[in-house]
DNA sequence: TAATTTTGTGCAACTATTTACACAGTCATT
DNA sequence: AATGACTGTGTAAATAGTTGCACAAAATTA
C-alpha cells in the first residue's frame, strides 16, 4: 500500500497497525486513521513532518521555528516553514529537550491538598511555576488514612516515579520519619534540589526550606489571650510524628509564652492519630477549674472545641474563648467566627516555587541552604472575648 | 585534564563546565563535581554508564535490566549488570520511552482543588493512576478570582504545556465557554483522550465524561423536605456560565420536583460571580411569606444561609430548615450539622482515572463515548426538621 | 580577475534507550 | 562429517530534536 503522508507507512502498516483500523504504530507512534489502504489523518506531527512539508531539512526547520539565526534564512524559506508548522499544528516535543539538556521543566510536588491551606499552597506553587513554563507533577505520600482504600503508598516508589521522569526539583512536605529521610537520599544523591515545607531536613541533605514562624504565632495568640485577661488556658494539640514537628513547636512556644507570665498557666492535651477529638475537647472543657480559653493547634481541632462546648451548653466566647490556627476556609463561617492565626498559603506556595526555581537555575551555587521563615498574623473574630470575672 | 569517570569529560569541561566548580554540561548533563582536575562524583547515571561499568554492550544491559530474554544471558553477565546498576543507582529514563513509544504514562489533570470535594477527586485520580504507574500533571485554568494575583491564566497555553510534554490523556473540569471548546480541539485533533468531570462536551469532541446524577439529587432533597411537611421552599443557586451547567441542572430538576406537588412552591435566587452571598440569603429569609426551608446549591452557599439566619435571629432548624450539596468537610461540623447531598469525590476521581486509562489502553476502540453518571446520597443531619405548624 | 567574505542550507553527531538482525561458537542430530 | 538449532552477545537503525561544522553560491573586495 502506498502511503499518502509518510514514506514509511508501509513499514508501519506491516508492523503494528491492523489494516483498515485505527492503530498505534511502533517507531512511528502517530495515530493513523487508515481506511481502504489510505491514511486519512494523523494525530501528532513531528519536526520532520514540518521539514518535509516545507521542503527543507530538519535542522533548518528547527532553527527557523526557534528563531535562531533567523536573518540567515531567506524570507521565502521562513514562511514555508512557518506555514507548514501551522498547517500541521506542530508542537515541539519537550521530552527530547529533556533528554538532551537534562532539564524537563517539571517539578515534583509531594504536597497533599489536605485542606484549604494546602490547596492555596498548591495554587501558589502552580501559578509561580507556569510563569517560567514549569509544570508540577503532584504525587502524595501517606495520605491513606482519610481517603485511600488502596492502603498506604510506597514512598520510595513515588520518589522513583519522579526521578524516572527526570523532574528538575521537588517541593515536599516530608513525612518526618527516619526511613523517609533515607528515601530523600535518593534525590540528593542525584543532585535533585529539594525544598521542604513546614519542616527542615538535617543540613546534610542540603534541602532548602520554608517554614512558618511558630514562635511568632505563639506570641500573637498568647498576647491576645493574656490581654483579654485569660490566665487558665488550655491547648488542644496535634501529636506530631517527631520531636520537632510543627505541632510540637506550636505547643512548646505557646507554653513558653504563657509560662513567662506570673499567674498564668497552660495545660496541653494532644490528639493522637485515631483519637476522638470531641472526647479530648470535652475533657478540656470539663476540667476543674475550667480553662477560660482554649488554643487549638489547628482550625480542625478548634471544631471539636465548638462541638464539645455545644454539648456541654457552654457559650463561645462568653464561657470560653477559642483560638485556632491556619485560618482555613471555614473559620470565618463558624459560629461564632473563629479567631485564628492566618498562614498565607498562597504566598508560601509562591515563594517555595520561586526559591526552588532559583536554586535550579543556579542562583545559590555559592551560598548554602536557603531557609525562608514566613510570618503569620492573628485574625481576631467572634470566638474570643475578655475572660469572665469569677 | 584526564577524567576518572568518562572518556568525554575533556569535551565536557571545555564546553560547559567551569573548571573547579560544580557545573552542568551540555550533551553530558550529569552534574559533575569537579575539583583539582578530578571528577569526584556524578549525579545521574545512564544505561551506557552501567554497561561500561559491567563491561557489556548497552543492549545487553538494557535486556538484562528489563528482564527480557533473561535465560539467554549467563549468570555471570547478569550479575555484573545488576551489580553495576545498583552501584551506580541507575534509574531508567522515561523520557526516552516516551519518545520511542509515544506514551509518557502522564495524565494532564485540569481540576482545581477548590474545596474538599475536589481535593478528594484529586486523591481518587492520584491513587488510581499510580496503580498503573501513571502520574498526574496538575494544571488549572480560570481560578484567578480567589487566589491568583497574577491574573487569569491563558487556557490555550496551559493545554499546550500538556501537549508539549506529550501527556497520554487529560482529565478536566472544563470551563463551559465557547472559546474553551475551541481550545479543546487542540487535544481532540491530536487524538489525546479527554475525560470531563461535571459537564459533557458536545459529542463531536468525543470526550468521555463523569457527572453527578443531578436529577436523583434533586429528588432526594425534594422528597426529604416534602416529607417533613415543607411547602414554601427557597433555592439559593449558583449562576452557571452556561445554560446546562451543574448549577442550572441542580435548580431545574429541583424546581421540577417541587412543581409536581400541588400546594408546594419554590422560588430561586441565583448568586452571580461577585455577588454578596449573605445579602442574597437575607433576601430569602426576609421574604414574605418566609420559606420554611432553603435548599442551597452547595455547602458554601448554605453557609450564607446560616450567617443570615443568625443575623435575623432565626433558629435552624426550628424556624427554617437548610439543605446543602456536596457534603464538604465542614458540613458535619456546622452548628447545627448540615443536611447535605453527599457526592463521593474519591470515587468520582477513581472512576474518572480508571475510565481514562481504559480509553488510553484502547478498551473502547469500537464503542463510542463513555458516560458515567454517579449517584449521590442524602446525609440527614440536624439542619432539617418538620415544618412548623402555622 | 582572483581572493575573500557573506548568505543560505545541509550533513553528521550528539542526548538515552529499544529492537531487529547478524554472527560466532557450541551442541546435538542425521 | 555436515547440517541445524541454540546460546550469548554485539551492531545498526529507530524514536525527536539541537548544534557544530562544512560547503556551495553569491556578493564584495583587493
Tens-digit pLDDT profile for residues A15-47: 333 333 333 344 445 555 544 444 445 577 889
Mutate to test the interface with B, among A97, A131, A135 (most CBs of B within 10 A): A135
> What per-residue confidence (pLDDT) applies to A323?
97
Contacts of B226 (CB under 8 A, 6+ apart): B258, B261, B264
Question: Higher-confidence residue: B31 or A127?
Answer: A127
Does residue B71 register a pLDDT over 60? yes
**Between the CA of residue B106 and those of A152, B103, B135, B208, B357, what are the distances in Å?**
21, 8, 5, 18, 10
Are B95 and A100 an interchain contact pair (Cβ–Cβ within 8 Å)?
no
> What per-residue confidence (pLDDT) applies to B38?
47
Q: Which of A148-152, B70-74, B228-232 has the highest mean pLDDT?
A: B228-232
pLDDT tens by residue, B137-167: 999 986 654 444 445 578 889 999 999 999 9
> What per-residue confidence (pLDDT) applies to B16?
34
Are B165 and A102 an interchain contact pair (Cβ–Cβ within 8 Å)?
no
Contact between residue B319 and residue B138 where contact means Cβ atoms under 8 Å apart: no
In chain A, count of helices (H) and strands (E)?
Answer: 13, 15
> What per-residue confidence (pLDDT) applies to A4?
30
Q: Is the CB of A66 under 7 A from strand D?
A: yes
* B198 Rama sector, left if φ>0, alpha if ψ -120 to 50, beta otherwise: left
Positions 96-155 of A with beta carbon below 7 A from strand C are 96, 99-100
Nearest residue to A297 (alpha-carbon basis) of A322, A334, A330:
A322
> What per-residue confidence (pLDDT) applies to B20?
31
Nearest residue to B138 (alpha-carbon basis) of A171, A232, A251, A23:
A171
In this complex, the residue of B93, B100, B335 whose CB is nearest that of residue A166 is B93
How many beta carbons lie within 10 A of that of residue B247, not counting itself?
Answer: 21
> What per-residue confidence (pLDDT) applies to B42?
56
The residue whose grid cell reads 492566618 is A342
Q: Is the CB of B10 under 7 A from strand C?
A: no
> What per-residue confidence (pLDDT) applies to A164?
95
For residues B88 and B53, give the distance between their C-alpha atoms in angstroms, rounded to a whole number. Answer: 9
Quickly state the pLDDT bin for B135 (edges 50, 70, 90): very high
Mean pLDDT in residue range A352-365: 89
CA of B45 to C1' of D10 (A): 22
Contacts of B389 (CB under 8 A, 6+ apart): none
> What per-residue confidence (pLDDT) applies to B41?
52
For residues A77 and B17, give the distance between their C-alpha atoms in angstroms, rounded to a whole number. Answer: 36
H helices present in A177-321, as ranges: 178-188, 214-227, 246-259, 277-285, 299-311
pLDDT tens by residue, A323-336: 999 999 999 999 89
Domains and CATH numbers, chain B: 9-98 (1.10.260.40), 101-211+346-371 (3.40.50.2300), 214-344 (3.40.50.2300)
H helices present in B326-386, as ranges: 345-360
Strand C positions with any atom < 7 Å from protein CB?
7-12, 14-20
ω into B241 cis (within 30 of 0) = no
C-alpha Rg value of chain B to the nearest Å: 29
ω into A183 cis (within 30 of 0) = no
On average, the pLDDT of chain B sits at 83
> What per-residue confidence (pLDDT) applies to B185?
84
Nearest residue to A95 (alpha-carbon basis) of A149, A146, A47:
A47
Which grid coordinates belong to B235?
A: 433555592
> What per-residue confidence (pLDDT) applies to A18?
34
Q: Is the CB of B15 under 7 A from strand C?
A: no
Question: Higher-confidence residue: A142 or A377?
Answer: A377
| Residue at the smallest CA–C1' distance to nucleotide D14 | A27
For residues A16 and A28, give the distance between their C-alpha atoms in angstroms, rounded to a whole number. Answer: 9
For residues B96 and B356, give the distance between their C-alpha atoms in angstroms, rounded to a whole number. Answer: 23
Are B44 and A186 an interchain contact pair (Cβ–Cβ within 8 Å)?
no
> What per-residue confidence (pLDDT) applies to A46?
87
For residues B296 and B293, give the distance between their C-alpha atoms in angstroms, rounded to a whole number. Answer: 10
Q: Chain A contacts of B334, Cβ < 8 Å? A: 333-335
Tell me if the pTM is above 0.85. yes
> What per-residue confidence (pLDDT) applies to B102?
83
> What per-residue confidence (pLDDT) applies to A141?
83
The residue whose grid cell reads 440569603 is B281
Question: Higher-confidence residue: A270 or A62?
Answer: A62
The alpha carbon torsion through A193, A196, A202, A207 (nearest 10 deg) reads 20
Contact between residue A53 and residue A87 where contact means Cβ atoms under 8 Å apart: yes
In sign, the C-alpha dihedral spanning B51, B57, B62, B65 is negative
Q: Where are the beta strands (DSSP E) in chain B?
A: 22-25, 28-35, 38-42, 106-110, 135-138, 169-172, 194-197, 208-212, 232-238, 265-271, 293-296, 321-326, 339-342, 371-374, 377-379
pLDDT tens by residue, A83-118: 999 988 899 999 999 988 888 999 999 998 888 999
> What per-residue confidence (pLDDT) applies to B69?
81
C-alpha Rg value of chain A to the nearest Å: 29
Are A91 and B191 an interchain contact pair (Cβ–Cβ within 8 Å)?
no
pLDDT tens by residue, B284-298: 999 989 999 999 999
In this complex, the residue of B26, B89, B114 whose CB is nearest that of residue A189 is B89
Contact between residue A340 and residue A326 where contact means Cβ atoms under 8 Å apart: yes
Cα separation of the two ends of chain B: 96
Min mean pLDDT across A46-55, A133-142, A258-267, B25-34 is at: B25-34
For residues B280 and B269, give the distance between their C-alpha atoms in angstroms, rounded to a whole number. Answer: 7
Which grid coordinates belong to B290?
A: 418566609
Residue of A nearest to B99 (CA): A95
**Residue A365 backbone dihedrals phi, psi, to 5 degrees:** -50, -40
> What per-residue confidence (pLDDT) applies to B11?
33
Quickly state the pLDDT bin for A70 (edges 50, 70, 90): confident
* Percent of residues, chain A, with pLDDT higher than 90: 56
Mean pLDDT in residue range A237-249: 73
- The three-class DSSP label of residue B194 is strand
> What per-residue confidence (pLDDT) applies to A270?
85
Quickly state the pLDDT bin for B242 (edges 50, 70, 90): low
Contact between residue B107 and residue B358 where contact means Cβ atoms under 8 Å apart: no
* B319 Rama sector, left if φ>0, alpha if ψ -120 to 50, beta otherwise: alpha
Query: Smallest CA–CA separation between B300 and chain A, in Å?
Result: 9
Contact between residue A61 and residue A50 where contact means Cβ atoms under 8 Å apart: yes
* Percent of residues, chain A, with pLDDT higher than 70: 83
> What per-residue confidence (pLDDT) applies to B174?
80
> What per-residue confidence (pLDDT) applies to A42?
56
On average, the pLDDT of chain A sits at 84
> What per-residue confidence (pLDDT) applies to B76?
87
Question: Higher-confidence residue: A355 or A147?
Answer: A355
Amino acid at each position: 500500500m502506498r502511503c499518502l503522508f509518510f514514506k514509511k507507512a508501509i513499514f508501519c502498516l506491516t508492523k503494528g497497525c491492523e489494516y483498515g483500523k485505527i492503530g498505534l504504530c511502533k517507531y512511528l507512534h502517530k495515530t493513523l486513521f487508515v481506511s481502504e489502504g489510505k491514511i486519512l489523518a494523523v494525530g501528532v506531527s513531528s519536526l520532520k513532518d514540518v521539514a518535509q512539508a516545507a521542503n527543507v531539512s530538519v535542522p533548518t526547520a528547527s532553527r527557523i521555528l526557534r528563531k535562531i539565526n533567523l536573518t540567515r534564512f531567506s524570507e521565502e524559506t521562513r514562511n514555508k516553514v512557518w506555514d507548514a508548522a501551522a498547517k500541521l499544528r506542530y508542537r515541539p516535543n519537550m521530552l527530547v529537550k529533556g533528554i538532551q539538556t537534562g532539564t524537563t521543566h517539571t517539578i515534583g510536588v509531594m504536597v497533599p491538598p489536605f485542606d484549604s491551606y494546602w490547596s492555596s499552597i498548591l495554587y501558589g506553587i502552580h501559578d509561580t511555576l507556569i510563569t517560567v513554563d514549569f509544570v508540577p507533577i503532584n504525587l502524595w505520600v501517606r495520605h491513606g488514612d482519610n481517603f485511600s482504600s488502596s492502603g498506604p503508598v510506597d514512598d520510595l516508589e513515588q520518589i522513583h516515579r519522579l526521578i524516572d521522569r527526570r523532574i528538575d526539583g521537588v517541593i515536599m512536605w516530608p513525612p518526618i520519619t527516619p526511613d523517609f529521610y533515607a528515601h530523600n537520599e535518593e534525590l540528593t544523591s542525584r543532585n535533585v534540589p529539594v525544598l521542604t515545607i513546614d519542616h527542615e531536613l538535617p543540613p546534610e541533605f542540603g534541602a532548602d526550606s520554608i517554614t512558618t514562624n511558630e514562635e511568632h504565632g505563639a506570641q500573637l495568640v498568647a498576647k491576645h489571650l493574656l490581654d483579654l485577661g485569660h490566665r487558665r488556658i488550655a491547648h488542644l494539640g496535634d501529636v506530631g510524628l517527631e520531636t520537632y514537628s510543627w505541632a510540637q513547636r506550636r505547643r512548646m512556644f505557646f507554653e513558653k509564652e504563657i509560662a513567662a507570665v506570673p499567674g498564668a498557666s497552660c495545660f496541653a492535651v494532644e490528639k493522637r492519630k485515631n483519637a476522638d477529638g470531641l472526647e479530648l475537647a470535652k475533657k478540656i472543657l470539663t476540667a476543674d477549674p475550667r480553662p477560660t480559653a482554649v488554643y487549638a493547634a489547628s482550625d480542625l481541632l478548634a471544631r471539636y472545641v465548638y462541638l464539645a462546648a455545644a454539648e456541654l451548653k457552654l457559650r463561645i466566647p462568653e464561657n470560653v474563648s477559642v483560638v485556632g490556627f491556619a485560618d482555613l476556609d471555614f473559620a470565618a463561617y463558624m459560629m461564632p467566627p473563629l479567631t485564628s492565626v492566618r498562614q498565607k498559603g498562597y504566598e508560601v506556595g509562591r515563594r517555595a516555587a520561586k526559591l526552588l526555581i532559583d536554586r535550579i537555575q543556579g542562583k545559590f551555587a555559592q551560598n548554602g541552604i536557603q531557609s525562608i521563615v514566613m510570618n503569620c498574623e492573628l485574625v481576631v473574630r467572634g470566638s474570643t472575648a475578655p475572660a469572665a470575672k469569677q
